[in-house]
Structures are given as C-alpha cells and as structure tokens.
C-alpha cells in the first residue's frame, strides 16, 4: 500500500526537502515523485513497507515513522527503471501526430517550460533532441539527453507522449548509439552522402558521371523522370532529361544509404520510430524537382518517412527571424507541401525554426499544421536571459567571454551578425541586460558560443547552478517564448 502524499511531503520537509507536486504518481504499491532534498533533485519512492517499493531502482532507504522512503539519485540506471515502471516517461514515435514541435534543450533543463507551453495547444513535443555537434559542444551523451527528459516529464506529470530526436545523424554507428539511448526519431542528414556539387556541374560533367551508373539504373531513371511532368495538388513539377540525370548523380548513393539506415531502424524498433530525411544543410535551396525525385526514390526502396527537411529559399540563420523574400518562400513552400501530400503525407520539417516569426503564419496555413517545426538554441537563449535577470555579474562575464570564443564557434555555425550594434556592456545598467536578448546581433553571438561558455570552468558550472536555483524563472521564460512560437503558427488551443 502506498502512503499518503501528505505523509510523504511531511517526511521530506523534516529533511528540508520538498515535492514537485505535479510529479506525484500512485502505483498502488508505492508513491513515486520527484523532489528536491538537500539542494539536489532526486527521485523519491514511498511505501508502508520496504517490500512495496518498486524493483530495479538504486537508492538509499531512509526510515521514517511507519514507512519506507527511498531516495534515488538521477542516474542512468534509475532513469531506465523509471521508464520501465512508468512507460509514459519513455520517448515514443510521433508518426501519427499531426503537429510536432522539436524542443531542443542543450542543458537538459527546459522540459517543464516546453511542456507547459505545448499543453496549451493541439501539438506534440519532441522534448529530447540533440545533434552530434550539440552533444560534443555540451559534453553530453544521448543517454543524458533522454534521461534528463525522463525525469522532467515526471516532474511535470506529462503523460501525453513525447518524441526524442537523434538530430542530424550521418552514420549508422551514430544512429545505433541514439537508438540504444531510446531515441525514437532519427534525423538522417544526407549532406555527406549526396553529391551536392553536381548541382552546378556542366551538362557534359553530369552526362559523364551518369554514364558511370549501371545500365539498368540509367534506364529506370530516364524512363521514370526524363521530360516528364508530375501533377501534385495545385501544381506541376517538371523534370527534363538533364535534371533527371543530375538528380541521379546527386542523390542515388544517398538514397541507398537511407535504405541501410531504414533497415537498421526497422530491425531495432519495428515500426515504432520516425525517420526524418534532412537535406537542409546545403548551400543551394532544394528545388521542388529534386524533392520529388528524392521522395520517389525513397518510396521505390520501400522507405516510409515521417518527415523531410528541404533547404528553403532565403536564410534560416540561428536565433533571428527569416531573411529573404516572403512571397517567393511561400510559392516554393506550397510546392514542397504539395509534393509531401501527393507522396504519402509525410510532414515538411522546418529546421532552425527558432524565432522565424515572419514565416510561421505561412507555414501554419500552408501545411494546415501537418508539420514538424524544430527549435534548439532558442531555449538556451532563454536560459541566458534568466541569468541576465538573476545574476547580472555572471551575465557580464559570460557576455565578454562570448566575444573571445566566437571565432571558434563560427567554424561550426553560419551567421552574419553586425557585432557593432551590440552596446558596450559598461554603458548598460544591470536592469538593461535582459533586453540584449531582443537584439539580433547579441542573440546570435550568444546562441552559437554555448560550447565555449559552458566549457569555461569559471562560467559553465556557475551558470548551471544559478539556473537551477531560479528554475521557475527559467521555466516561465521558456513557456512564454514557446507560446509566442505556437501562436504564430496559428495552432488551435488544446481541446
Ligand atoms: Zn537542420
């Protein structure tokens, strides 16, 4: 028999601890909850006798009057046991959910804010989402990413199901690592497997490379695509002979690789996964004809995808709004959506979706909310904003250090901020610091330098400690910011 929440709460308070009220779960035999005890977040379990405590957890049993209370540290082993005890705490495939929102969280601390925002709308969150680049820069692992979210969905009592995205993976080995950690979504980045340079090759060079392909492949490509027009809802996509050959040279090897990744996912997870194909990290925008070629070649290999991320016209720079021609974006975006609708109804995925408020209304109405929108750094920037509020001195050190580590970050991120627009810190009062997060150049500076900042021993640990001490401030900031995103997409309120 479980003890009462009141008795558990009273026992914790004698140790100076407190419960996160939304986290309380009664399993029948025991109470399970998240608590903060002696300054640390911890998993607590309580039963009238030790035999009633759930199996598989590792922790310290503390005697309390008439009960057994176990305090379990937030380790990987305890996360695994928690996911077994409460299956809703584990990531799931969201392939049947209409609207999905990628909530990348580099610090493993933003989930309560994400959950509180997403709950207000008809949308499902991908709460665990990280690229290999972000893992390296934050010194985290896929196990850390999934485990942090496991404990935080318990903290919020969020049982509606969440996704976990191994983002921008390029090798079968990395996919294996992400799947081992429980990631249910894989974003397969094909930029290294495709021949992007062939986009600009001369007809003669394309012809020469095409001639190297096996004869049966060449015949199939010509028969299927050359000089043909494909009707898609509200539009026509045409491919001439040269473009058909060019697509074959650019993409066929990458399509075969996608087949290997798909087989691996099927073998490991049956149908319980989401595969996203990403071709967004290329220099040139993805032409609708290329998108159509890619999806037809995927279907030809019996690969079922949940989403596809084209590279769109214009610039989707980190941390700031869309740069480009909105009318042309809308025209091309419509065609991408029409192709997705005609070939199985997968979602178009918007990468670097953070803060793209100008294109959100177009995205919302064109997709009718059948879409995946990915954000990542914007939740980190909310953490920086929370620090600017809570600890201006620490913010000043962090801001100065960001300029020093920027050259290193620019090797990994393409941004073009005008740093001269950032006022000198000495001219700003403490109360003016949070407003720097409204300034494009400052947002971009701080967005890309997280690796160097978190890795600085004088800044990283102090940053996380200050964030944890004011966690509610951070959650409220993330919630407010995400509500703004979800409203701009025109999403309906949750029913
Ligand atoms: Zn991307």
The pLDDT score that the predictor gives to residue 1 is 58
Report how far residue 418's alpha carbon sits from residue 65's, in angstroms, rounded to the nearest whole number: 63
Contact call for residues 357 and 321 (beta carbons, < 8 A): yes
Mean pLDDT of the chain: 96
Q: Phi and psi (nearest 5°) for 152? A: -75, -30
pLDDT tens, position by position, 336-385? 999 999 999 999 999 999 999 999 999 999 999 999 999 999 999 999 99
Alpha-carbon distance of 82 to 30, in angstroms, equals: 13
pLDDT digits (tens, 9 = 90+) for 191-242: 999 999 999 999 999 999 999 999 999 999 999 999 999 999 888 999 999 9
**Is 26 one of the catalytic residues?**
no
Considering 276, 280, 355, 391, which one is annotated as catalytic? 276
Beta bridge partners of 102: 126, 374
Q: How many angstroms separate the alpha carbon of residue 313 from the centre of ligand 1?
A: 14
Residue 135 alpha carbon to ligand 1 centre in Å = 15
- Cβ-Cβ contacts under 8 Å for 288 (sequence gap 6 or more): 235, 237, 332, 335, 336, 339
> Per-residue pLDDT tens for 391-409?
999 999 999 999 999 999 9
Cβ atoms within 10 A of the Cβ of 7, count? 18
- DSSP E strands in 48-123: the ranges are 60-64, 67-72, 99-103
Instruction: Find, among 390, 394, 384, the residue nearest to 431 by Cα.
Output: 390
Distance CA 139, CA 47 (A): 37
Average pLDDT over every residue of 98-107: 97
Q: How confident is the model at residue 114 (pLDDT cuts 50, 70, 90)?
A: very high
Residues near 147 by beta carbon (within 8 Å), at least 6 away in sequence? 74, 76, 79
What's the gap in Å between 349 CA and the centre of ligand 1? Answer: 9
pLDDT band for position 66 (cuts 50, 70, 90): confident
DSSP string, 275-314: EEEE--SSSSPPPHHHHHHHHHHHHHTT---SEEEPPPSS
Is pLDDT above 80 for 61? yes
SS3 244: helix
Picking from 309, 305, 312, the residue whose alpha carbon sits closest to that of residue 286 is: 312
Ligand 1: distance of its center to the CA of 392 in Å? 33
The predicted structure's pLDDT at residue 2: 60
Ligand 1 centroid, distance to 15 Cα (angstroms)? 46
Q: What is the pTM of this model?
A: 0.96
Token digits of residue 128: 């665990």
- Lowest mean pLDDT segment, chosen from 267-271, 421-425, 491-495: 491-495
Check if 212 is active-site: no
Q: Both tokens of residue 445?
A: 């500076």
What DSSP string describes 367-435?
HTT-EEEEE-HHHHHHHHHHHHHH-HHHHHHHHHHHHHHHHHHTTT------GGGSPPGGGS-GGGSGG
Neighbours of ion ligand 1 (CB under 5 A): 280, 351
Ligand 1 centroid to Cα of residue 278, in Å, is: 7
- Integer Cα distance of 335 and 341 in angstroms: 10
Contacts of 437 (CB under 8 A, 6+ apart): 381, 384, 385, 388, 443, 446
Q: Kindly give the distance from the C-alpha atom of residue 317 to the centroid of ligand 1, in angstroms, as a whole number.
A: 11
- Cα separation, 106 vs 103, in Å, equals 10
In the prediction, which pLDDT does 263 show? 98
- The H or E element spanning position 437 is none
C-alpha 201 to ligand 1 mean position (Å)? 25
DSSP annotation of 184? -
pLDDT, one tens digit per residue, over 468-488 is 999 999 999 999 999 999 999
């Amino acid at each position: 028999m479980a003890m009462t929440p009141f008795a558990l709460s009273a026992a914790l308070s004698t140790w100076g601890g407190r419960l996160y009220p939304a986290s309380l779960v009664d399993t029948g035999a025991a109470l399970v909850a998240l608590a903060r005890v002696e300054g640390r977040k911890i998993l607590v379990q309580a039963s009238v006798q030790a035999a009633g405590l759930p199996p598989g957890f590792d922790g310290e049993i503390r005697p309390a009057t008439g009960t057994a209370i176990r305090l379990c540290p937030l380790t990987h082993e305890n996360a695994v046991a928690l996911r077994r005890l409460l299956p809703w705490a584990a990531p799931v495939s969201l392939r049947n959910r209409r609207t999905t929102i990628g909530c990348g969280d580099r610090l493993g601390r933003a989930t309560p804010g994400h959950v509180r925002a997403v709950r207000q709308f008809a949308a499902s969150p991908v709460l665990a989402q990280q690229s290999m680049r972000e893992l390296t820069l934050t010194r985290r692992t896929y196990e850390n990413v999934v485990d942090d979210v496991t404990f935080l969905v318990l903290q919020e009592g969020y049982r509606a199901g969440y996704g976990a995205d191994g983002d921008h993976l390029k090798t079968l080995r990395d996919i294996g690592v992400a799947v081992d950690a429980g990631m249910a979504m894989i974003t397969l980045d094909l930029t290294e497997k495709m021949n992007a340079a062939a986009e600009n090759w001369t007809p003669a060079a394309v012809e020469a490379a095409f001639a190297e392909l096996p004869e049966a492949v060449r015949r199939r490509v010509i028969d299927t695509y050359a000089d043909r027009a494909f009707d898609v809802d509200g539009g026509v996509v045409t491919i001439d002979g040269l473009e058909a050959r060019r697509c074959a040279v650019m993409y066929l090897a990458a399509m075969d690789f996608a087949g290997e990744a798909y087989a691996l996912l099927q073998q490991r997870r049956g149908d319980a996964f989401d595969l996203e194909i990403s071709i967004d990290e290329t220099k040139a925008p993805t032409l609708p004809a290329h998108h159509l070629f890619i999806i037809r070649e995927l279907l030809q290999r019996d690969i079922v995808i949940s989403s596809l991320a084209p590279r769109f016209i214009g610039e989707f720079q980190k941390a700031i709004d869309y740069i480009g021609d909105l009318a042309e974006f809308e025209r091309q975006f419509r065609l991408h959506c029409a192709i997705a609708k005609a070939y199985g109804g997968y979602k178009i995925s918007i990468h670097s979706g953070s803060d793209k408020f100008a294109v959100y209304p177009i995205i919302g109405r064109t997709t009718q909310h059948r879409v995946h929108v990915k954000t990542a750094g914007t939740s980190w920037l909310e953490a920086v904003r929370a620090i600017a509020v809570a600890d201006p001195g620490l913010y000043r050190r962090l801001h100065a250090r960001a300029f020093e580590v920027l050259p290193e970050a620019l090797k990994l991120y393409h941004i073009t901020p005008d740093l001269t627009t950032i006022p000198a810190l000495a001219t700003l009062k403490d109360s003016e610091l949070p407003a720097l997060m409204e300034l494009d150049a400052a947002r971009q500076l701080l967005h890309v330098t997280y690796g160097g900042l978190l890795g600085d021993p004088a800044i990283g640990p102090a940053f996380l400690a200050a964030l944890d001490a004011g966690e509610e401030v951070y959650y409220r900031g993330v919630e407010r910011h995400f509500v703004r995103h979800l409203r701009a997409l025109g999403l309906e309120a949750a029913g």
